[in-house]
Amino acid sequence: MEHSSLAGRIFRGVALTLILIFFMFPIVWIFLMSFQTNEQILRIPPRILFEPTLANYEALISGQLRTAAGNLQISFMRNLFNSVVLSSAAVLLALLLGVPAAYAFARFKFRLGETIAFTLLSFRFAPPLLVLLPLSLYYQELGLNDTYFGIVWVYQLIALPLILWIVRGYFEDISPDIEHAYRLAGHSWREAFTRIAVPLAGPGIAAAGLLSFIFCWNNFVFALILASADKQPVTVGALAFVTASGIQYGQIAAAIVLSVTPTLLLALYAQRYLVEGLSLGAVKG
């Protein structure tokens, strides 16, 4: 918008800065906290300048939590690993199931189609606590309690509807005649799906995958109830920092920084891909 006035540009700049500060402040503050000891954090008034320490990160990585009441074993790195495994597996499975399903819902009208699609969506607005009790009973019965498989399965409640509905919209935006043209050129509909529909919906699939990855990563209750210590993701693992001798703010901050990093990196990477995918053709032409 080159035609806007100088005052307008200054105002926009100030407004953007304010918004940025408002949203970024908690993250910056946590980042700073992760380099402070508990005493430095709880000092009143708080100070911006401090002597940074890597003790929090050391404790997390070594698994030794030193508190006033003595040494505690924590398995933060294990939790981080669990989070990566659980979320990735859940999103992969959801993509495998959800993308073909989204295609089917977008392209074909079949009996109960809308009903099934809506039922799948309704998983998103059922409160997790409502399904947890019966679910945990079933899981005990089936022996799925405290297994990666069981948790990945229950994560489908989060990831599948999201992917299904976002990707369906992208498929609906692609003219079916593009696939028809491809099929007339001597290809089966399976090839039309994998070579035409999926690549064209690529940006949408990436966005849906990223979003559901973040939702899975941030999930707390399912893992809290259905997983024991060695299968717990970081969200549940962070509870370990609430100890008998007080809350370990420094370590919590460091844990947050570490656990945000993978999703942040993924988001940055996928964002670049999204922009590329959406502007393909327009730029080169």
Partner 1 sequence: MDMLELRGIDKVYRSRGKPPVHAVRALDMAVEKGEIVALLGSSGCGKTSTLRMIAGFEDVSAGSIALGGRRIHELPPARRKVAMAFEGYSLYPPLTVRENIAFALKSAQLPRAEVTRRVDEIARLVEIEDILDSYPRAISGGQQQRVSLARALVRDADLYLLDEPMGQLEPQLRAVLRGRIKSLLAERGMTAIFVTHDQTEASALADRIAVMEGGVLQQFASEKELKGRPANLFVASFIGEPPMNLLDAGVTRSDGGFRLSVGTDMAFEIGGAGLDGEAAKALAGAPQVRIGIRPQKIAVGTGEVRVKVVSNQWLGDQSHIAGDCGGRMLIAVTPGRVAARPGDVVPFALEPRHLHIFGGDGTCIRHAEVS
- Under rule CB under 8 A, residue 189 binds partner 1: yes
Long-range contacts of 2-6 (CB under 8 A, 24+ apart): none
- Under rule CB under 8 A, residue 177 binds partner 1: yes
- Under rule CB under 8 A, residue 127 binds partner 1: no
What's the min distance (Å) between Cβ of 208 and partner 1?
A: 20
What's the min distance (Å) between Cβ of 178 and partner 1?
A: 5
Contact stretch for partner 1 (CB under 8 A) within 169-177, 221-229, 246-254, 263-271: 169-177
Give CA separation, 188 vs 74, 184, 196, in Å: 54, 9, 11
Dist CA 235 CA 155 (whole Å): 14
Dist CA 115 CA 94 (whole Å): 19
What's the min distance (Å) between Cβ of 183 and partner 1?
A: 4
User: How many of the other CB atoms lie within 10 Å of CB of 119?
Assistant: 11
x/- contact string, 82-121, with partner 1 (CB under 8 A)?
Answer: ---------------------------x-x----------
- Helices 55-62 and 76-107 pack at an angle, to 10 degrees, of 80
- Under rule CB under 8 A, residue 122 binds partner 1: no
| Count of residues in the chain | 285
Binding site for partner 1 (CB under 8 A): 109, 111, 175-178, 180-189, 196, 199-200, 280-282, 284-285
